[in-house]
Structure 1
Amino acid sequence: MIRRIARRLLPDSIAARTAATVVLALFLTQAVSALIYLTDRPEGPPVHSFRVWVGRVSAIVQLVESTPQAERPRVVRALDDPILGVDWRDKAPRVRPDPPGMPLEFLRRRVRQAIGDPDRPVLIEMRHDRGLGPPRPLPLPDDPRGPSMVRLFVQLTDGSWLVFTSGEPPDGPFQMLRFGLWMAGIVAVVAALSLWAARRLTAPLAGFAAASERLGVDGEAAPLAEVGPRELRTATRAFNLMQERLRRFVADRTQMLAAISHDLRTPLTRLRLRAELVEDPEMQRKMLADLDEMEQMIKATLAFARDDAQKEPRGPLDLADLLQSLCDDRVDAGCDATYQGPGHLTVDGRPVALRRALANLMDNAIAYGGGCRVGLAAEVGNARITIDDDGPGIPVEEAEKVFAPFYRLERSRSRDTGGVGLGLSTARTILRRHGGDVTLANRPEGGLRATVLLPR
């Protein structure tokens, strides 16, 4: 169950998986670093807690009181900083009254104790310029958020006032948010770079996959360039070697088939001459019929071998125009053939080879079904051709066997109607060399349907 879920969550491409691995490793490294940073911290009160803050306030008060008035502005400017702002005023400040329910007295008492004067005038007001909303209870003495919520006024012995205003503590409430944003930014940048690098690394694999798919369509495709890492170069070299061996195997088989078919013509000619000398007319007729059938098989085999060896260039062709032309040719020959579909539909293929494959299917429907109705439709990525007839159909278990070379049905499609069993085999071979296929199926209303799919 866990493995199934993991397989669904994992990216499908090698580039994405490589990038995800790098990003995950980076994220874990950042998480461990954050954990160490947050746990391995010095003990003691925070540098901006009430305890430290009150100590600084009392020290500054004592320092300013011991400084002559003429020097106080310069000293106050030197003491003023973003963490604890210090201001010296001659007049008493206007302070809002303490909000009800706010225990500010303990802070006032702590400041007086630190200064050493229990009767020292100390005013405290809640700061409303921090956007804190309604007043809230003061935090604990060691909470670093506490001083940033108040402004403190302490009267000096000469009647002037020191005003203490705290800034945001170094470790403010948005520290983790900032840390998280920084980490997310770093992860995003590393993820983008990792994905780019992984795609560059796996680009030869995409070409390798495309070449493997092209090999089943075009055996004469150019070999792959041996580039990339050592392992990929080794795999590419093996693929090119396999492609060359397959090309030689097909060429040798085709040449052997053509040679055998050609060499059979000589003994067939001698047999025909000898059959002419047979005195029994019935025996002579049967012998000549057998020789005619053998000669037809040889011619079909030679045509199959020639088309298999032919290196016709591929190019764009109008499939709709091709089908209409084939139907018109059969109508001119007195056959029943109709076309229904778009006026134009372009595919990439070999015109002569496709014409032969589709002609074989249409002639098959006319020969065994009395006519053919050809349909053409455009689909996503494919062109679909249907060739229907009104014949008896074929047994379901024979739907694939009829595509084997020299295979013919004995009952539903007799030998007497002609053919040597290479028409469907040739058609499927040509269509598969184009990256398509052909299948046969009985129609519910009767008759047989041949369905052709060709990539667009």
Structure 2
Amino acid sequence: MGLPGRLLAILLLVATIDFVANSIVLDRANDFALREDDAARMAEHLTIAYRVIERTEPANRSVVARELSTERFSVRWSAQPDTLPTTVSLTRLRAQVLAFEPDLGKVDLRMHLLPLRGQGDIGGSMTLSDRSYLTFRTFSRSAWTLNLGRVGQTVLPTALLALLAWFLFRTTLRPLATLVQATRRVGSAQPQSLPETGPAEVRELIHAFNAMQLRIHELLARGSQTLLAIGHDLRTPLARLQLRLDNAAIDPAAHQEMSRDIDEMRDLLASLQVFVESGDDRTAQQRIDVAAMVQTLVDAASDRGADAVYAGPDSLDMVARPVAVRRSVSNLIENALHYGGNVRVAVRDRGDLIEIEVADDGPGIPDDQLEEVLQPFVRLDNARSRDTPGMGLGLPIVHRAIRSENGRLHLRNAPQGGLRATIRLPRVPD
């Protein structure tokens, strides 16, 4: 059933329940009666009020009506019909009162159940001989059961509608929430077809999404294979070029420049291969001790004489692809040492997330280029000198690898200087 059909079914069900609730209240009102002594007392009050007001001059009737009123029985006279907020007629109670005072049947006695306003539960009116009207209100504990029924008549359909609406939205939005999570993984992980559940419109949307992510994956895979093939094919001519250069009788300075160009092209091809493979890791995720892994990388840098410090727990488990995590943290450490001269690495447990922060005291990155440097082959102006190694793929490799783990890489400049690169990974993948 589609979403409009579900909404229509809910509305029909609520209308049916409302009709049944109304019918129950009406039936109970028609059968409502007071105890014999209470009914006799009410009939007596109504008869006295009618006879006194009937014999009073119209100019004085309002005053006399107030004098006849008590806390439990109030009377009001008016020349025009008094509009009472009535709900249902009390048929049996009227017959019960008329049984004690039959003359009240000649004055068009009407009796109703009044709303809950603290002014009485039973109300009604009588018509005087001059076509003026006498209205009354009286309090009865027995009528509270009917009032509770009236409350239920209003609350029950509303509560049911709210419950059904909550259920409808929950069942409808559950596949949509799954779809939102899946859209964040498109292009960064192996495609997984979502179950086509929910209303017809949602099923069609999920079906289209499944087809779309397969096409996107095929396009990305084809592009990656093309880049890897080009890189592989270029290694052979580069090797021949290096061999011919070594055997050529040319100026040593020119030989050195040309050799450096060839080495730079080899580094570019190697970095390109790592970049492509960083987002296409098909190894299974496994439980790893990320704290021990990061400590090992920091200790290795420190053993080389680098200013590297680790802060965090000795052990912290998570589920991820170890190659992707190790490569990402290693790249960030090397980047920090190269541009900042030192590195401080912290691992933090954030509940469902694992946070790894790599900080340095270098010049940082201009704020307007923090997002740009995550794109492939982007190098900052002060790093474009040919004396500066790198192909502009270090941070993009990290960004791509972390995305494949459903994580996020965030870059920011510290107020006191230096770059802060923060990796946030789910402790357990979705």
Does TM, normalized by the shorter one, top 0.5?
A: yes
Query: CA 1:326–1:24 in 2, change beyond 3 Å: closer, same or farther?
Result: farther
Inter-CA distance 330–393: structure 2 relative to 1 (3 Å threshold): same
1:253 aligns with 2:256: no
Separation in 1, partners of 2:324, 2:293: 12
**Which of 355, 364, 367 does residue 393 from structure 1 map onto?**
364
Instruction: Check conservation: 1:254, 1:308, Cα contact below 8 A.
Output: no
Kindly report which structure 2 residues correspond to 1:337-352, keeping only aligned pairs within 5 A, or say none: 337-352=308-323
5+ long unaligned stretches in structure 1: 1-14, 49-81, 87-102, 111-134, 153-167
* Distance in 2 separating the partners of 1:410 and 1:108: 100
Residue identity opposite 2:259 in structure 1: L
Q: 1:427 aligns with which of 398, 408, 412?
A: 398
Preserved CA contact (<8 Å) 1:438 1:452 = yes
**Could you say if the C-alpha distance between residues 24 and 449 of structure 1 is closer, same or farther in structure 2, counting changes exceeding 3 Å?**
farther
Cα offsets for 1:192-218 (capped at 9, x unmatched): 355445534554334333333343552
- Which residue of the other structure, out of 253, 276, 280, is the alignment partner of 1:282? 253
CA offsets, 1:63-85, max 9 Å, x none?
xxxxxxxxxxxxxxxxxxx7537
The alpha-carbon deviation at position 109 of structure 1 amounts to 12
Query: CA offsets, 1:362-397, max 9 Å, x none?
Result: 001111211211112233543332212122333333
Alignment of 1:352-367 (within 5 A): 352-367=323-338
Q: Could you say what secondary structure the match of 2:222 adopts? A: helix
Aligned to 1:76: none
Moved more, 341-350 or 283-292: 341-350
Q: CA deviation at 1:300?
A: 1.7
Paired residue type of 1:299: A
Mapped to 1, the partners of 2:200 and 2:49 lie a distance apart of: 76
Letter in 2 for 1:188: A
CA distance in structure 2 between the partners assigned to 1:137 and 1:359 by the alignment? 86
Structure 1 residue 434: deviation in Å?
1.9
Structure 2 residue identity aligned to 1:258: L
- Residue type of the alignment partner of 1:344: S
1:235 aligns with 2:208: no
CA-CA distance at 1:246 after TM superposition: 1.1
- In the alignment, is residue 292 of structure 1 matched against residue 244 of structure 2? no
- Give the TM-score normalised by structure 2: 0.66
Query: CA-to-partner distance for each residue in 1:171-226, whole Å, 9 max, x for gaps?
Result: 946533322224423543454355445534554334333333343552x1421233
SS of residue paired to 2:279? helix
Within 2, Cα distance between the matches of 1:387 and 1:413?
Answer: 23
Q: Distance in 1 between matches of 2:262 and 2:256?
A: 10
- What are the residue-to-residue correspondences of 1:56-455 with 2, within 5 Å? 84=36, 107=48, 136=71, 172=143, 174-189=145-160, 191-193=162-164, 195-196=166-167, 199-215=170-186, 217-218=188-189, 220-276=190-246, 277-379=248-350, 381-411=352-382, 414-455=385-426
Q: What's the CA shift string for 1:399-450, capped at 9, x where partnerless?
A: 2332222222342575424222211110111112222222333322232222
**Aligned counterpart, 1:120:** none
8 Å CA contact retained: 2:188, 2:279: no
Paired amino acid for 2:36? L
Q: Runs of 5+ in structure 2 lacking a partner?
A: 39-43, 52-69, 78-88, 101-138
Counterpart Cα distance in 2 of 1:249 and 1:32? 59
Q: Distance in 1 between matches of 2:21 and 2:10?
A: 17
Greater shift, 351-360 or 169-178, is seen at 169-178
SS in 1 for 2:314: coil
Q: CA RMSD in A?
A: 4.5
Q: In structure 2, what is the equivalent of residue 160 of structure 1?
A: none
Q: CA 1:367 to 1:424, structure 2 compared with 1: closer, same or farther past 3 Å?
A: same
Alignment check: 8 A CA contact 2:347 2:357 kept? yes
* Corresponding residue SS for 1:374: strand
Identity fraction in percent = 34
Give the secondary-structure state (helix, strand or coil) at the position aligned to 1:376: strand
Equivalent position of 1:89 in the other structure: none
Question: Per-residue deviation at 1:311?
Answer: 0.6
Higher share in helix: 2
Q: Would the aligned equivalents of 1:408 and 1:415 in 2 still touch at CA under 8 Å?
A: no
**Normalised by the size of structure 1, how large is the TM-score?**
0.63
State the distance in 2 between where 1:425 and 1:311 align: 19
8 Å CA contact 2:18–2:153 kept in 1: the answer is no
Residues 296-347 of structure 1: CA deviation (Å, up to 9, x unaligned) = 1112222323333331212332221221111011122222211012233333
